[in-house]
Structure 1
């Protein structure tokens, strides 16, 4: 039997990444929240980034780490808050990019993981809500 040497990977397009950023910024403007938004590709590399003028500088790094965490584990970041409290998972809490705070979501399209979205700037609930609305508005799979 021949060995398969490569696998096709699904990636988020720049256009779709920009649409997510615009949707989050619009939601932030409506709620008067200055968000930073990061979109990673399926490999965890930054695909697109947006930041409201008033967003605190640290929100940029946090948004990137939320997107990275969601992408690499294929799960929303808020679930990590309870997971890292379990003794067998606690060592992961020291990973420099693992963000165990709500606002990061994997991006699925037609059942395939194509990237990660990270939103930072509000409370974790506001970050989560903005991310979910943006994913829904742009037509990505619901989690």
Structure 2
């Protein structure tokens, strides 16, 4: 039988806090969502000044990343390249850059989604928080 790694609430809060610190240092106002490996919400933060719609977008980006085990940018690139079929607005919203899977010892343990600035900046925030998280659990 295998050992299954998973994110705890403490882990989710660490990820939120690392992303939050990075956004403050860069003057961003965003929403940040952390999900488990199934895409279920573990923790969320919407910063003062972040648009209300960013809270749902950050969650959808994280869910997309968790379910696909890929950065959500992959789907944005497929859509831009005309390689995706018909999408509803709900399914499309999670397929924008800014969702990143969290892999630990080769296992998906969750995902982090960010929304509120340019898509590449959303992804940068998520990547930075995940990098710091993985460094502290190693």
Aligning the two structures, in what range does the TM-score lie when normalised by the shorter sequence? 0.7 to 0.9
Corresponding pairs, count = 133
> Partners in 1 of 2:100 and 2:11 — Cα distance?
15
| Residue 56 of structure 1 pairs with residue 51 of structure 2 | yes
| Residue 94 of structure 1 pairs with residue 85 of structure 2 | no
Q: Deviations over 1:8-56 (max 9, x none)?
A: 7542111111111001111110111011100111121100111111111
> Partners in 2 of 1:47 and 1:82 — Cα distance?
27
**Unaligned stretches of 5+ residues in structure 1:** none
Task: Describe the SS at the equivalent of 1:90.
Answer: coil
Following superposition, which runs of at least 4 residues in structure 1 exceed 6 angstroms of deviation?
A: none
| Residue 22 of structure 1 pairs with residue 10 of structure 2 | no
The Cα shift of 1:76 comes to 0.3
TM-score (norm 1): 0.84
**Unaligned stretches of 5+ residues in structure 2:** none
| Residue 83 of structure 1 pairs with residue 78 of structure 2 | yes
Which has the larger helix fraction? 2
Q: Deviations over 1:57-90 (max 9, x none)?
A: 0110000000000000000011101223445x32
Q: Deviations over 1:78-129 (max 9, x none)?
A: 1101223445x323x3272442211101111111001111011111111111
| Residue 71 of structure 1 pairs with residue 66 of structure 2 | yes
**Aligned-pair RMSD on alpha carbons?**
2.0
Larger Cα-atom Rg = 1
